[in-house]
């Protein structure tokens, strides 16, 4: 029996032919009902910088294609932004809309947003995706182009999550935080469908967010370029800190907050690393008359005596000659004190 996706599109593995499974298997796109081919694993391993840049452009293209396909066969309406509310689950932490604002101001809104009739407030709407475009057109004082669909709460968050996954411009911590919020309200199956991750990776996301103080995540922000391994290292370091509250206070300080988000992460991460015990400040060893003999540096494990051979070459030679004699004298006294 064919298993239906939460948005009503069949995703049963039996619908995929044996020949397809030997090559690149198409994956059903529940939001659109279209297939997308997975990249061959070998391609992933051999991808170079040029491929990565092309993939980034492809992702943006696929995201726009998602929204265009949504509008096919459906009415695109102009809505007053005052009657459109954001989704009940926040996904982004960054508020920067400068680039998008400039683009829409010059070229207009090219792609509609997806909304549903508000479940509790007649005459109003709720965004599934397109929050940034909504903010931009509101700031420009224009109406927003939108596709209106009847969506349940589950369908809304799945649509929101899948659109974000196609764009892949959300950072790791934004995705993990979004998954964590969804997990409080929906079943694991819904969260997995929204995030397009397996159970193992979802569990890692949830455990990571649970281990970090919410105030610390907010203070750091989206941290573009910082992946799961770095966040996990921060969790491991934070577990060894006597007072996590002090770490949060440091993260919220003016000195840290003036930095860009990724730099805030690095600054806080560096503060959590165990500090090396600094070597002692060098001291000057002098004669009773004030003549400089040597520079002495002490640490927990070493005593270093540095003699300036240019200033007192004869003294340096003298110390080298008689240091073994001094050591033997020391051993002799030690032996006599021990009764030997």
- What was the pLDDT predicted at 327? 86
**What backbone phi and psi angles, to 5 degrees, belong to 233?**
-60, -35
Whole-angstrom distance, CA of residue 154 vs CA of residue 187: 9
**Residues near 80 by Cβ (< 8 Å), separated by ≥ 6?**
143
Q: What is the mean pLDDT of each run of 10 residues along the chain (340 residues)?
A: 36 33 39 40 50 56 53 74 87 73 89 88 89 90 91 85 68 90 86 86 94 94 93 94 91 94 94 69 72 78 82 84 86 74
Structure tokens at 182: 């969804």
pLDDT at 35 (0 to 100): 37
Q: Residue 57: what pLDDT?
A: 59
Q: List Cβ<8 Å contacts ≥24 apart for 239-243.
A: 239/211, 241/272
- What is the predicted pLDDT for the residue at 14? 32
Taking the CA of residue 272 as centre, how many other CA atoms within 13 Å lie in the half-sphere pointing to its CB?
27
Check residue 111 and give its pLDDT: 83
For residues 180 and 207, what is the distance between their CA atoms, to the nearest angstrom? 9
Q: Give Dmax over CA atoms of the chain in angstroms.
A: 104
pLDDT at 160: 81
Tokens of 170: 């959300």
**279 contacts 297 by C-beta, under 8 angstroms:** yes
pTM above 0.75, yes or no: no
Q: Where are the alpha helices (DSSP H) in the chain?
A: 18-22, 41-46, 49-71, 98-107, 131-139, 153-167, 172-185, 188-195, 199-211, 214-220, 228-238, 244-251, 254-257, 261-272, 313-337
pLDDT of residue 237: 93
Q: Residue 210: what pLDDT?
A: 95
């Amino acid at each position: 029996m064919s298993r239906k996706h939460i948005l009503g599109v069949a995703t049963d593995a039996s619908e995929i032919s044996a020949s397809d499974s030997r090559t690149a298997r198409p994956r059903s796109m529940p939001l659109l009902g279209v297939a997308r081919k997975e990249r061959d694993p070998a391609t992933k391993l051999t991808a170079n910088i040029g491929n990565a840049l092309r993939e980034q452009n492809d992702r943006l293209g696929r995201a726009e294609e998602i929204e265009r396909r949504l509008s096919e066969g459906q009415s695109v309406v102009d809505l007053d932004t005052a009657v459109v509310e954001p989704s009940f689950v926040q996904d982004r932490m960054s508020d920067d809309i400068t680039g998008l604002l400039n683009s829409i101001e010059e070229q207009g809104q090219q792609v509609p947003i997806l909304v549903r009739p508000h479940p509790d407030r007649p005459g109003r709407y709720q965004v599934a995706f397109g929050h940034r475009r909504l903010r931009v057109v509101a700031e420009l004082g224009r109406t927003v182009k939108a596709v209106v669909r009847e969506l349940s709460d589950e369908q809304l968050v799945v649509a929101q999550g899948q659109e974000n996954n196609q764009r892949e411009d959300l950072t790791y911590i934004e995705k993990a935080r979004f998954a964590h919020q969804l997990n409080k309200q929906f079943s694991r199956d819904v969260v997995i469908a929204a995030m397009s991750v397996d159970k193992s990776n979802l569990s890692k996301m949830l455990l990571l967010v649970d281990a970090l103080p919410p105030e610390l995540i907010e203070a750091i922000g989206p941290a573009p370029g910082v992946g799961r391994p770095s966040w996990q290292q921060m969790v491991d370091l934070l577990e060894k800190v006597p007072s996590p509250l002090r770490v949060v206070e440091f993260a919220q300080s003016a000195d840290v907050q003036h930095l860009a988000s990724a730099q805030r992460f690095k600054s806080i991460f560096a503060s959590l690393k165990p500090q090396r015990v600094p070597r002692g400040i060098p001291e000057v060893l002098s004669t009773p008359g004030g003549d400089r003999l040597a520079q002495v540096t002490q640490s927990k494990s070493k005593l270093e005596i540095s003699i300036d051979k240019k200033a007192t070459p004869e003294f340096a030679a003298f110390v080298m000659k008689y240091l073994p004699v001094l050591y033997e004298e020391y051993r002799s006294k030690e032996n006599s004190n021990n009764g030997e």
